[in-house]
Amino acid sequence: MSNETFYRDSWAEVELSAIENNIRSLQERLKPGTGIYAVVKANAYGHGDVQVAKEALQAGAKGLAVSLLDEAIRLREAGIEAPILVMGWTRPEDAPIAAENAITVTVFQSEWLGEVSAQTLSHPLKLHMKWDTGMGRIGIRSTEEMDQLLQLIRQTNHLSLEGVFTHFATADEGDSTYHSKQEARFEELFSHFERVWPENVEFHTGNSAASMRFPERMKHIVRFGISMYGLYPSSVVREERPIELRPALSLQSRLIHVKKLDPGESISYGATYQTEEEEWIGTVPLGYADGWIRKLQGMDVLVDGKRHPIVGRICMDQFMIRLDQEYPIGTKVTLIGKQDSDEITADEVADYLETINYEIPCMISYRVPRMFLRNGKMIEVDNAL
Ligand SMILES: *Cc1c(COP(=O)(O)O)cnc(C)c1O
């Protein structure tokens, strides 16, 4: 399925001790007894799902959360036995697969529950109920819907309600008006639930932003995503700095060709860049098929601890940079990460692309091998090719 070697000069480094550090720091900030679910959807935000999941569990996470049943099954196939919650939609016909693999699925529709309760399952199916308190995405919105679901769950032997959760839309913003509204809706649903369902279930509301900013308001579990990877959920939270995060991912490459061009020579498709004087131009073997999209033309990379701009259009597999001097083939190029005293962060790349930092590691495609390190030492490579 994946290889432990690779034969190219571009790779992503994932420092597992940073993930451990970020989980431990959050745990210290939470009320004692609050559990952490590590959110490892989308290949752990591009970092490598199995390795990150194992590290997170070792650092004290109680469970894992993903978006898709396929993602959960991948983790089970890797031998992970911790609780796994699928936070998104699971097709009712796939309920037996989830039950067999002890994967918890999210319930929020009585039609869905009707179909699932009519099936014969070999194992009990674990459920978390989703409440839509203002995200407007998935979840029940009223106590009537809640009662319908609870009644069906109570009537069905092979269904077991283990959790209830909601998701905040604005937990990372400075203005808390909407967030308070969501919290109030949650409390309304919560007080009804407490009256009609005496059995214990685990409640969870917080993502990275809410769990770091409002630790005292968290219930049994928090769902820790972006900040486990060392990135703040927004500039507001970055400035508040409730905990000191360490970014886990860096993106590296090497110069594979270096040449001196005369003034007036052009670079790459469309000949959009012309040299103004004699210029040293380096070629980097990474392109938009690796996730370094064409809009990053003009963005800097680090070579020799200094910034150098991407010149000309980014190609599918390669791009060119303007160098301040000649460098040997094989010189390290850092696209995300530190070199000497300078650093290009995922936040800086996100700002350049007018997007959020979440998108940046997710963009790095399957073609870029992931190298896992602990305290700077390489321990494993995952090459999907
Ligand atoms: C992705 C996701 C999270 C994690 O959010 P972060 O902001 O990355 O911490 C939590 N809950 C749900 C429902 C999600 O989809």
Q: Are 125 and 105 in contact (CB under 8 A)?
A: yes
Q: Is residue 105 included in any domain, yes or no? A: yes
Closest Cα to atom 12, ligand 1: which residue? 167
Note whether 212 and 265 are same-domain residues.
no
| Number of C-beta neighbours around residue 241 at 10 A | 10
Q: Is residue 374 included in any domain, yes or no? A: no
Q: Is residue 32 included in any domain, yes or no? A: yes
Q: Is residue 287 included in any domain, yes or no? A: yes
Note whether 103 and 76 are same-domain residues.
yes
Q: Are 16 and 42 in contact (CB under 8 A)?
A: no
Q: How confident is the model at residue 3 (pLDDT cuts 50, 70, 90)?
A: confident
Note whether 298 and 220 are same-domain residues.
no
Q: What was the pLDDT predicted at 263?
A: 98
Is any ligand 1 atom within 6 A of the Cβ of residue 167? yes
| 17: its two tokens | 């001790």
Instruction: Give me the catalytic one of 41, 54, 126, 130.
Output: 41
User: Residue 274 maps to which CATH number?
Assistant: 2.40.37.10
Q: Is residue 357 included in any domain, yes or no? A: no
Q: Is residue 238 included in any domain, yes or no? A: no
- Give the tens place of pLDDT for each residue, 188-246: 999 999 999 999 999 999 999 999 999 999 999 999 999 999 999 999 999 999 999 99
Is the per-residue pLDDT at 1 higher than 70?
no
For a ligand 1 pocket test, name from 19, 30, 39, 186 the mutation site with the most ligand atoms within 8 angstroms of its C-beta. 39
Q: Separation of 208 CA from ligand 1 center, angstroms?
A: 7
Is any ligand 1 atom within 6 A of the Cβ of residue 204? no
Q: How many helices (H) and strands (E) does the chain have?
A: 12, 21
Note whether 219 and 296 are same-domain residues.
no
Q: What was the pLDDT predicted at 2?
A: 77
Note whether 281 and 145 are same-domain residues.
no
Note whether 203 and 318 are same-domain residues.
no
Instruction: Give me the catalytic one of 31, 259, 269, 295.
Output: 269
Note whether 219 and 255 are same-domain residues.
no
Note whether 82 and 197 are same-domain residues.
yes
Note whether 100 and 139 are same-domain residues.
yes
Q: How many domains does the chain have?
A: 2
Note whether 226 and 254 are same-domain residues.
no
Report yes or no on whether pTM surpasses 0.95.
yes
Q: Which domain holds residue 315?
A: 249-344
Is any ligand 1 atom within 6 A of the Cβ of residue 179? no
Q: Is residue 307 included in any domain, yes or no? A: yes
Please compute the mean of the pLDDT values over residues 92-118 and round it to a whole number: 97
Q: Are 344 and 334 in contact (CB under 8 A)?
A: yes
Note whether 180 and 301 are same-domain residues.
no
Is any ligand 1 atom within 6 A of the Cβ of residue 223? yes
Q: Is residue 147 included in any domain, yes or no? A: yes
Residue 269 bears catalytic tag: yes
Please compute the mean of the pLDDT values over residues 314-337 and round it to a whole number: 98
Question: E strands, 167-324, where?
Answer: 202-206, 221-224, 249-254, 257-261, 266-267, 273-274, 279-284, 300-303, 306-311, 319-323
